[in-house]
Amino acid sequence: MAGEGAVAASTRGKKGQNLFEGVGAGEGAVAASARREKGLRRFRRKESSLRQFRFCIVAREEARVGYANVDVCFLAFSRRKKTVLSSAYLLWVITYACVDSGFFYVIDHGIDQELMQEVFRQSQKFFDLPLHEKMKLLRNKKYRGYEPFMNQTSDPGNQISGCSQFDAFSCDYKEAYYIGIEVPEDDLKAEKPFYGPNLWPTTDILPRWKEIMEQYHKEALRVTRAVARIIALALNLDVGFFDKPEMLDEPIASLRLLHYGGKVSCPEKGIFGAGAHSDYGLITLLATDDVMGLQICKDKDARPQVWEYVAPVSGGFIVNLGDMLERWSNGIFRSTIHRVVLDGRERYSIAYFVEPSHDCLIECLPTCKSEANPPKFPPVTSAAYILQKYKETFADVSMYSKHQP
């Protein structure tokens, strides 16, 4: 296959050079899944290993029936890890993750666990507010603020009825809150579709809420940039490829707090917590509570489709690649469709979506095309792609005007 050659080349580099040589992006670790009973496997330090990163194999309970075989890797940024893997093996593991499912885990990422727990607590406090209080912060045209239940239809082809009729089971049964990169209204950048000031609850209702969310937003962006550096190397690019101003130096980054209501999904009837979809951007970091619900389908064209649960990882992130990375890589890296199936319990998650800057042109990378494997997708700007996807899946919030106090 044409894609296999590019992937194989990415593990070799030019003339067999170590692709991680000289990287100074941070410290970290990569882990691949293994049966828990095998415990922690140790690898000897090798001269070819990256000096600034540390790698380890981390044991994980392997898939039970119905669980996704996410045996790709755990990527960790902890200084506590003492063992290392060869950089060639690291690159193979992360590349395999991106090619096989587009999903992997990030652990020991450096974000304080108390902060992550506090974000969950504050998220629940907001969603526990009366509807009239939440509606005061209704999502605006900059995609900031509160999104009520049934506002989005992630899979219009399979989800029943229509959002405009306020059918409790017609759309995604979730409510959300969007927080973007803070840009003052009088800043010229605020003229861009996804830049502007955020909407915040008043301090008398939720004290410290803004402070906590802004701190988490900043930390999550740091982790995303670190992950992007590893992905750049897996694509046989310079480690700082995604750090350019037109990419992640001035990104579109949205923190999305999510609350799924205590309903039971019925896929056969098109009823979901969130319908099947792929993420639109570059990289998504997802932190979840311990309630199962996320499912992935590695082959969207299979009939019937096979859906498998992805287990939560306590204190860590489930990471998935978005459409833009799939387009950049010419389909070699995968933006896998996923959905949320509810079992009657409430579920909370924290998603962090990162896209390149508004004007960034998403077109096939030189390392991912050849005469035998020409570009599969037409070029498109980041903002244009996201706006079109939002138009296809989101309801017009003006329909909620009658709920305004």
Please state, in angstroms and rounded to a whole number, the distance separating the CA atoms of residues 164 and 170. Answer: 9
Q: What is the pLDDT along the chain (405 residues), one digit of tens a residue?
A: 434 333 333 333 333 332 223 333 333 333 323 322 232 232 223 223 333 333 332 323 333 333 344 443 455 554 444 334 456 666 777 888 898 889 988 887 889 999 999 999 999 999 999 999 999 999 998 999 999 887 766 776 676 644 444 444 468 889 999 999 999 999 999 999 999 999 999 999 999 999 999 999 999 999 999 899 889 988 989 989 999 988 999 999 999 999 999 888 888 888 888 888 999 999 999 999 999 999 999 888 888 989 988 888 889 999 999 999 999 999 999 999 999 999 999 999 999 999 999 999 999 999 999 999 999 999 999 999 999 988 877 766 666 554 443
Chain center to CA of 325: 12
Cβ–Cβ < 8 Å for 122, 350: no
pLDDT value of residue 30? 34
Residue with tokens 């950048």: 189
Task: Quote the CA–CA distance of 17 and 50 in Å, as a whole number.
Answer: 12
Q: How many Å apart are CA 163 and CA 318, to the nearest integer? A: 29
Q: What is the largest CA-CA distance in the chain?
A: 67
| CA pair distance 66, 60, nearest whole angstrom | 16
**CATH number for 321:** 2.60.120.330
DSSP 8-class letter at 396: P
Residue 225 inside a domain? The answer is: yes
pLDDT of residue 9: 32
Alpha-carbon distance of 21 to 17, in angstroms, equals 8
N residues, the chain: 405
Structure tokens at 17: 């050079």
CA-to-CA dists, residue 26 to 88, 228, 307, angstroms: 18, 12, 35
* Residue 34 Cα distances to 28, 62, 72, 230, 307, angstroms: 19, 6, 10, 22, 21
Which of 342, 324, 341 has the alpha carbon at shortest distance from 333?
324
Q: Strand 74-76 relative to strand 103-107: parallel, antiparallel, unpaired?
A: parallel
Q: Which domain holds residue 140?
A: 112-403
Domain assignment present for 292: yes
27 assigned to some structural domain:
no
* Domain-embedded: residue 375: yes
Give the rounded distance of the alpha carbon of 218 from its chain centre.
15
Number of separate domains in the chain? 1
- Residue 382 near residue 252, CB atoms below 8 Å: yes
Prior bond to 304 cis, omega within 30? yes
Give the SS3 label for residue 121. helix
Does residue 150 sit within a domain?
Answer: yes
List the beta strands (DSSP E) in 311-357. 317-321, 337-340, 347-355
Asked whether residue 294 is assigned to any structural domain, the reply reads yes
Residue 115: CB atoms within 10 Å: 12
53: nearest Cα among 33, 81, 34, 32: 81
Q: pTM for this one?
A: 0.79
Tokens describing residue 316: 């860590």
- Measure Cα distances from 323 to 127, 152, 273, 350 in Å: 29, 18, 21, 20
User: For residue 135, what is the enclosing H or E element?
Assistant: helix 131-135
The pair phi, psi for residue 177, each rounded to 5°, is -140, 125
Contacts of 22 (CB under 8 A, 6+ apart): none
Whether 336 is covered by a domain: the verdict is yes
Residue with tokens 């799924």: 260
Q: Is residue 31 part of a domain?
A: no
